[in-house]
Amino acid sequence: MSRDNSNDSKSRLTRRHYVAGAGTLATVGIAGCSGGGDGSDGSDGGDGSDGSDGGDGSDGGDSSAELEIVHWWTAGGEQDAYQALLDGFREEHPDVEIVDNPAPGGAGSAIDTVIQNRVIDGNPPSTFQIWPGQALTPYTDEGLLEDIGESVWDEEMRDAYLDGVRNLAQPAGNLVAVPINIHRLNNLFYNVSVLEEAGVDAADIDDPQGLLAAMETVATETDATPMAHQTQAPWSSLQMWESIFIGQQGVDDYQTLIGGDVESLESEVRTSLETLAAYAEYYPEDAGSISWDQGNNQVIEGDAAFLHQGDWAAGQYGSAEGFEFETDWDMVPFPGTSGVYQSVIDSFVFPTNNPSPDETEKFLNYAGTVDAQERFNPIKGSIPPRTDVPMDEFGDFLTRQFEDFQNSNTQPPAIAHGTAVAPAIQSALSEVFANFNGSLNVDAAYEGIRDAF
């Protein structure tokens, strides 16, 4: 696919105004309580969904019986979690042939172009991974996603989901996506031995400036890289800036920011950018050529102290040999953000002109079950959006995250992971941070952020 094509597709998809909706889907909603399970094993999506002829408006013609899934879960624990999801689906639907079609690249950095071109060309996959919320709007604006409010979202499923998450699946009013997880973004992971050697106690780091001091100590006292950050793709710096901003200014200002009023926060934004620029001294020498999971590997190997990353990083620790929670690694909320559960959610959708309406419906039904979410999330490093998933197999770390979620005051959406702002804004911001990674120029970044909104 040529670059020209992709740009063209992008502009066709982004020709409408998104700003009106930005920031309105601003929170996942109050953390609900877990029902603790009612004995339901959830797999009720089962074959109840058979008999569909795509008569819900999908005009895909003959069902091919092949289910093509496009996603970006190819790193560490991501891949294992995805396989666990497919295993569960295959148990229920051995007749469906799955065509696995990954578009590798952390945070979906490579999936957009592929999907947008295919959806616009009327040649979509059966389903694809996408963040709910604002990221869906280019598709819903153009009517490119089927309404699955009847075929998939039956009453049982509607009742079981956290309201805030279900709302994100209906940015235009009707339900078009099935969310499958809730990640937390504002984590600071660390290698326990490296911090011990440095004499740093993560629990004592109070704010983003304090983290700078801790990194300085790691640099002086050990041979380890203080912060295992990647700058090959801009999203990790964009998300770290979000956490710094929340850590310094709080969530109310963050909400103002994602609402687009950057100018009223000029000095606050500049301060957060200065902090991020100061962190850059402590990145790995190869930061510009590694992926997020390669960075995380440096933490696993004891070559790096800290990592700011979503808790998919914990999924990777789960699939690493002999790297144990609390003895070898641990996590504190990013300094200054305790009480905040900044959420990142993945979902699957039913594109129109679907090549396999029956199979797609079966898959989406399955993704919404207790069984699917109980298999997928513990390995992925996320908690389930259904409130009735038994939590006993989630391990100590996710149990703690789950408690933090329940006790959190607020669950703001993330910019770098599509839920908070429209894709046009997100991509302008990505460009700002791609430049910032190279230049560390605060003036240019401030202006870029202001203009992006």
Point out which residues bind ligand BGC (CB under 6 A).
72, 78, 106-108, 183, 310, 312, 344, 346, 417
Residue 289 Cβ, how far from ligand BGC at the closest point, in Å?
17
The residue (of 375 and 417) whose beta carbon lies closer to ligand BGC is 417
CA distance 437 to 435: 5
CA distance 2 to 279: 36
Residue 384: phi, psi to the nearest 5? -80, 150
Residue 9: phi, psi to the nearest 5? -60, -40
Tokens describing residue 449? 């952020």
Residue 131 Cβ, how far from ligand BGC at the closest point, in Å?
6
Residue 417 Cβ, how far from ligand BGC at the closest point, in Å?
4
Residue 292 Cβ, how far from ligand BGC at the closest point, in Å?
6
The residue (of 161 and 446) whose beta carbon lies closer to ligand BGC is 161
CA distance 138 to 438: 30
Beta-ladder partners of 351: 145
Sequence-ordered list of residues with C-beta below 8 angstroms from that of 231, at least 6 positions apart, any chain = 237, 283, 287, 288, 437
The residue (of 71 and 386) whose beta carbon lies closer to ligand BGC is 71
CA distance 243 to 231: 16
Q: Rounded to whole angstroms, what are the CA distances from 141 to 138, 221, 222, 425, 440? A: 5, 54, 53, 16, 36
Residue 120 Cβ, how far from ligand BGC at the closest point, in Å?
22
The residue (of 71 and 362) whose beta carbon lies closer to ligand BGC is 71
Residue 235 Cβ, how far from ligand BGC at the closest point, in Å?
8
Residue 389 Cβ, how far from ligand BGC at the closest point, in Å?
17
Residue 239 Cβ, how far from ligand BGC at the closest point, in Å?
9
Burial 242-281 (b: 16+ CB within 10 A, else e): bbbbbbbbbbebbbbbbbbebeebeebbebbbebbebbee
Residue 203 Cβ, how far from ligand BGC at the closest point, in Å?
26
The residue (of 42 and 133) whose beta carbon lies closer to ligand BGC is 133
Q: How distant is the alpha carbon of residue 360 from its chain centre?
A: 22
The residue (of 284 and 413) whose beta carbon lies closer to ligand BGC is 413
The residue (of 376 and 446) whose beta carbon lies closer to ligand BGC is 376
The residue (of 107 and 194) whose beta carbon lies closer to ligand BGC is 107
Residues in the chain: 453
Sequence-ordered list of residues with C-beta below 8 angstroms from that of 444, at least 6 positions apart, any chain = 432, 435, 436
Residue 29: phi, psi to the nearest 5? 100, 160
Q: Which residue is nearest to ligand BGC (CB)?
A: 312
The residue (of 233 and 389) whose beta carbon lies closer to ligand BGC is 233
